[in-house]
Structure 1
C-alpha cells in the first residue's frame, strides 16, 4: 500500500509541476490564465507523448531517437490544439514550460525536497 501511495503522490506532484510550466508558458505567450486548463493539457500531453514515443521506440536501431522526436512533436501538437496562436505560440509555450520546469526542479532538488522529473513536460 505504501508503494502505491508513493506512486500516487509522485504522480500528482509531478503533474502539478509540469502543469505549472505549461501555465507559465501559456500566460507569457498566449495570455491564458487558467491553471486547471494547464493541468489537463499536461495530462493529455503526457499520455500522447508516452504513446507516440513508446510506439516508435519499438523500431529497431533508430526507434528511440525517432520516438523521442515524434513524441515531442506530438506533445507540442497537444499544446497547439489547446491554446490559441498556432504552431509558433505552441513552440513558445513549450520552451517557456521547459525552462520553468527546469528551474523549479533545480530549486526543489537543491533544497532536497524532490528528485528531478515532471509529468507533462517530456524529458524532464
Structure 2
C-alpha cells in the first residue's frame, strides 16, 4: 500500500507542478508553453530540488535559498526570457500550486503538505 501511495503522490505532485509552471509560462511568456515542456521542467525541477535539499537543505536559511535558486535556475534553463522571467514563472507556479493543493485539501483528496512546487 505504501508503494501505491508514493506513486499517487508522485503523480499528483508532477501534475500540480506541471499545471503551475504551464500557467506561469503562459502568463509570463505567452510562447514556448507546451504541457510537455512544463511537465519536463516540473520533473527536472523536482529532482534538482530534492538533490539540493539532500546536500544543503539542513543549512538554516541558506539551504532553502539555494534550493529555490536551483529550482528557478531550472525554469530559467528550460524557458527563454532570463532570470526575471524565470522568477515570475516560478512565483506564478507557486501561487497556482497553492491554490490547487488547497482545493484538493478542502475536498479531502489530499493533505495540504502535498508537493509539486517547492514549499507547498
Indicate the residue corresponding to 1:11 in structure 2.
10
Q: TM-score, normalised by structure 1?
A: 0.89
Q: For the structure 1 residues 57 and 95, does the alpha-carbon distance in structure 2 shift closer, same or farther, using more than 3 Å as the test?
A: closer
Q: 1:58-98: CA deviations, max 9, x gaps?
A: 5xxxx132111100000000000000100010000001001
Indicate the residue corresponding to 1:118 in structure 2.
115
Indicate the residue corresponding to 1:102 in structure 2.
98
| 2: CA distance, partners of 1:64 / 1:43 | 25
Aligned pairs, number = 118
1:17 Cα deviation from its structure 2 partner: 0.7
Question: For the Cα contact (< 8 Å) 1:54–1:67, is it kept in 2?
Answer: no
Q: Which has the larger radius of gyration?
A: 1
RMSD, matched Cα: 1.2
Secondary structure of the 1:64 match is: coil
Unaligned runs of 5+ in 1: none
1:53 Cα deviation from its structure 2 partner: 2.3
- Where do residues 17-56 of structure 1 align in structure 2 (5 Å cutoff)? 17-31=16-30, 32-56=32-56
Question: For the Cα contact (< 8 Å) 1:41–1:82, is it kept in 2?
Answer: yes
Indicate the residue corresponding to 2:78 in structure 1.
82
